[in-house]
Every structure is written in C-alpha cells, then in structure tokens.
Amino acid sequence: MNTTASPFPSAVQRRNARAAKRDAVLRTAVQTFNERGFHQTSLDDVAARLRISKPTIYHYLGNKDQVLLECVTIGLTQLLEAAEESRSVPGTGADRLMSFLVRYAEINMDDFGRCVIRTADEALAPESRAQFRARKRQIDLAMRALIESAIADGSLAPHDPKMLAFTLAGALNWPARWHEADGTQSPQEIARHLVAILAQGFLPR
Amino acid sequence: MNTTASPFPSAVQRRNARAAKRDAVLRTAVQTFNERGFHQTSLDDVAARLRISKPTIYHYLGNKDQVLLECVTIGLTQLLEAAEESRSVPGTGADRLMSFLVRYAEINMDDFGRCVIRTADEALAPESRAQFRARKRQIDLAMRALIESAIADGSLAPHDPKMLAFTLAGALNWPARWHEADGTQSPQEIARHLVAILAQGFLPR
DNA sequence: AATAATATCTACTGACGAGTAGATTGCTTG
DNA sequence: CAAGCAATCTACTCGTCAGTAGATATTATT
C-alpha cells in the first residue's frame, strides 16, 4: 500500500503508472475484441471505453496490429509458462501432461487466452503473423514433448504425438468459443471435466 | 451429356446455367474466405478470380453478408444431413455416433465446412447471425441425441452429453484450422484417427 | 416490332476507420 | 529559467470497399 500519497509521484511511481495504463489499454482492448471481434472493433471504441482518445492508444502501443499482437503474446506467454511449470509436477508423465492440459484449458477461457484462440492468423500483419505462428508452434511442441515422455514412461497409451496433440488442443481450445464468463460451471470445473473425458475416452472401459 | 450443343439454350438449360454460375460464385468466395479470411477478402477480389465484376455478384447473391451466410449454410446443411444419415447406420449407438463423428470431421476439412468453423458469429449481420446460431444449435442437439441413445444402449460410457458433445466438437472442428489440403494424410485418415483417439482416451486401457 | 426481363459492365457515392499533424499543458532536469 | 520530454487532445487526411446508378446488349414474350 502507498502510505505517502503525495501528489508528486516519484520516478518509479511514474514508470509504474505508465505500465498500468498500458495494461489497462490491453485489457480493455482484448475484452472488446473477444466480445465484438477484432474487425468489428475500432480503436475509437476501445478508447471510448477507457474515456481517452485514440491517439493516446497510439502513444502507448504502436498501431492496431501491435495491440492485437501484444494481446495474443500475453496469452501465449501464459500458456508457455504453464508448460514449463507442469514439467516439475511430481508423478508420472501422464500426471504432468494432465496438469498442463487443465491449465491450458483454463487459460483459454481467460481474456488473453481467448484472444489467442479467436484470432485467425490472417488478422495480423505478415511480420506479426510470423511471430504469432512461431509461438503457437512452440506450445504445440511443448505439448508433444509432454506426450512423448508420458508414452516413454508407459503412463500414456502409445499414440502418434502429433495427432494426439492436435486432438487435445482442439478439444481444449473450443471453450474459448462457447464458454461465457457467466456460465454455471467455473473454468476450473470445465477444464477438469474435459480433460477427464479425453483421458478416459467415450467408450466404456 | 449435352449431345445437341445448340447455341440457343432451352429454358431449363438457362436455369441450370444460372444455378451453376451462382454455385461458382459461392465456391470461389468460400475458398477465398478460407485462404485470406472473410474481412481480408473484398467482393472485388472474388469477382476478379472469376473474371467478372462486382455487380455481377450482387446480381446472383444479395450482399456480402448473404454470400457468407449462403456459404456457411451449405456447410451446416452437409453436417445436418450427415447426422440424419448416421441415424440409420446398423450396429450399436456408439457405432452410429462414430460414423457421424467421422463424417463430421471430414466435412469440416472441406471448403464449406471449413468456412462454418472459421466464421465467427460476429462476422455476420444480426439476422444472419441468428440463423447461423440456430443451425449450429441444431447440429449440437443432433450430436447430443446420438450420444444419449448410445449411453442408453450401454455402448457408451455414461457421460454428461452436453460436455461430451463440446469435447468431441472441439477436437473435430480443429482440423478446419490446421489441416492444409496438400497434407500427407487424407481428410478421411485424419478423421478416423481423431475419432479413434477420442473413443479410446489417451490413458492406457 | 415493341416491350420486358436477364446478364453484365463502367463509374460512381458514401461511410468508416486507421493513422497523423500539430497544439496544449505540465513536469523535470541541466 | 529554458529546454526538453511526457501525456493528452482536437481535427484532420486518405485509402479501402460495400453497395448503387445507370448504360448496354442479348434473349424472351406478346
């Protein structure tokens, strides 16, 4: 807490304030993109929600493409961190994979994760698109690696890692499309439920 | 075959020609939307590919919104037909469900099915959007019905139909995003593979 | 033949929205 | 204090593109 609420902010406070404003722009932008879609959202819309003007957005973030790139990068970074964290989960390879999958699904129901899923590659300018794709490939590879080591220790059935990764990703990305924040089930519950279904398969055991 | 290639077409031939032109516009449109994205595609682009002019498109289909609505409706109709057909497949409820799922995945790798998946609701005008959603709901319900009757006859593990349907749909929609027509595996192979993974689950049996 | 309907074009309008110019105010630091 | 930088605004420009007006040519109908 800031006990000395002086009207003359220090250099550090000013840097923080700037970062906070930048974040606020991104949060508002991503929420608006998720609600109305990127192409249906003008930067004037985003600015209006924040009660600022469009040039102010340009002051904090380059152009509209940059705004979107930042948003998806935040989501992708969260996913990548989840992959790293799950590597140190105790138990079998399958335990580690499932812990990652649950987290993966949860993030995809969050603001920035939602944006990652809902953003089509073509919406970004060529250079940003390349970055976007590269990051997504990284996450795909991380998932495959978890799958491979779980197969190696026998805790997973021997599947084609690539195909399994696509299947899992698809199922766990989809809530980004249908899950509404006000649903009866929490993202956690949904995430666990989906992963359980994928683990067991729909045929009786 | 048209043995009498007269330069004076009959009324029927003219009606057919008109339908063929309309279809050609839709095919070209859907392919361009899938490649570049709906918002990155102008009707001038579509017209140029067909070596016609934009007003000609307006002559066959109302406006851009109509073009998109037609495209997704074709895809959705294919999916609905698949659901109907699978109802008369012999065997257990699980057999019927799996036959539908394979077909469902295949359609989603085809031009019009791809468009259904890649089109976000917000891209359509409010009225079209309502139609789009209603049709998608129909297919969701058809899938749930297949699930329910498979659970009823004991050929499926007792899952929450709604949740299972979302999981399956997600996994089987995803190829619309990553599958490229020139891949090494055919849509059929991919479809069967995905369904097998979903049926068995990733944990060893 | 006259009229109507069909198919297609060129050339326009009009809106929307990304991005910019340039002014203003206030704080900061040599 | 002067010069510079940070934050913000109003008021533009300019390109793109959906959608239209209206002409033209051909075929069908009466």
pLDDT confidence tier of residue B8, bands split at 50, 70 and 90: low
Residue B3 in this model has a pLDDT that exceeds 50: no
Phi and psi, residue A4, nearest 5°: -95, 85
Pairwise CB contact (< 8 Å): B194 & A36: no
The pLDDT score that the predictor gives to residue B4 is 46
CB pairs under 8 A, 24+ apart, for B20-26? B21/B60, B22/B60, B22/B61, B24/B50, B25/B50, B25/B57, B25/B60, B25/B61, B25/B67, B26/B61, B26/B67, B26/B70, B26/B71, B26/B74
Q: CA of B197: how far to CAs of A64, A158, B67, B108, B150, in Å?
A: 40, 11, 36, 18, 18
The pLDDT score that the predictor gives to residue B182 is 79
pLDDT in tens, B23-57: 999 999 999 999 999 999 999 999 999 999 999 99
pLDDT in tens, B122-137: 999 999 999 999 999 9
Contact A159/B at CB under 8 A = yes
Does strand D come within 7 Å of the CB of A17?
A: yes
Phi and psi, residue B57, nearest 5°: -60, -40
The pLDDT score that the predictor gives to residue A145 is 98
Q: Which residues of chain B (148-187) touch nucleic strand D at CB < 7 A?
A: none
Residue A11 in this model has a pLDDT that exceeds 90: no
Residue B14 in this model has a pLDDT that exceeds 70: no
**Would you state the structure tokens that stand for residue B10, as one six-digit string?**
């009959």
Contact B168/A at CB under 8 A = yes
**Would you state the structure tokens that stand for residue B37, as one six-digit string?**
């994205």
The pLDDT score that the predictor gives to residue B134 is 98
CA B205 – CA B203 distance, rounded (Å): 6
pLDDT confidence tier of residue A122, bands split at 50, 70 and 90: very high
Residue A3 in this model has a pLDDT that exceeds 50: no
Residues of A in contact with B156 (CB under 8 A): 202-204
CB-based contact A96:A146 (threshold 8 Å): yes
The pLDDT score that the predictor gives to residue A1 is 42
**Burial of A101 from C-beta contacts in 10 A (0-12 / 13-18 / 19+):** buried
Q: In the predicted model, what is the mean pLDDT of residues B51-70?
A: 97
CA B7 – CA B17 distance, rounded (Å): 13
pLDDT confidence tier of residue A15, bands split at 50, 70 and 90: confident
> pTM to 2 decimals?
0.93
**Would you state the structure tokens that stand for residue A32, as one six-digit string?**
């608006």
**Would you state the structure tokens that stand for residue B85, as one six-digit string?**
């057909």
CA B46 – CA B21 distance, rounded (Å): 13
The pLDDT score that the predictor gives to residue B1 is 41
CA A23 – CA A12 distance, rounded (Å): 16
Contact A193/B at CB under 8 A = yes
CB-based contact B146:B91 (threshold 8 Å): no
Does strand C come within 7 Å of the CB of A13?
A: no
Q: From the alpha carbon of A57, which nucleotide's C1' atom is closest?
A: D8
CB-based contact A77:A112 (threshold 8 Å): no
Place of tokens 């109802």: B87
Q: CA of A175: how far to CAs of A93, A191, B74, B169, in Å?
A: 25, 9, 25, 10
DSSP state for residue B123 in the 8-state scheme: G
Q: In the predicted model, what is the mean pLDDT of residues A106-113?
A: 98
CA nearest to B189 within chain A:
A163
Positions in chain C where some atom is under 7 Å from a protein CB:
6-11, 16-22, 27-29
Residue A59 in this model has a pLDDT that exceeds 80: yes
pLDDT in tens, B137-180: 999 999 999 999 999 999 999 999 999 999 999 999 999 999 98
pLDDT confidence tier of residue A9, bands split at 50, 70 and 90: low
* Percentage, residues of chain B above pLDDT 70: 93
pLDDT in tens, A152-175: 999 999 999 999 999 999 999 999
Mean pLDDT value across chain B: 94
Mean pLDDT value across chain A: 94
CA nearest to B94 within chain A:
A203
Q: In the predicted model, what is the mean pLDDT of residues B67-82?
A: 98
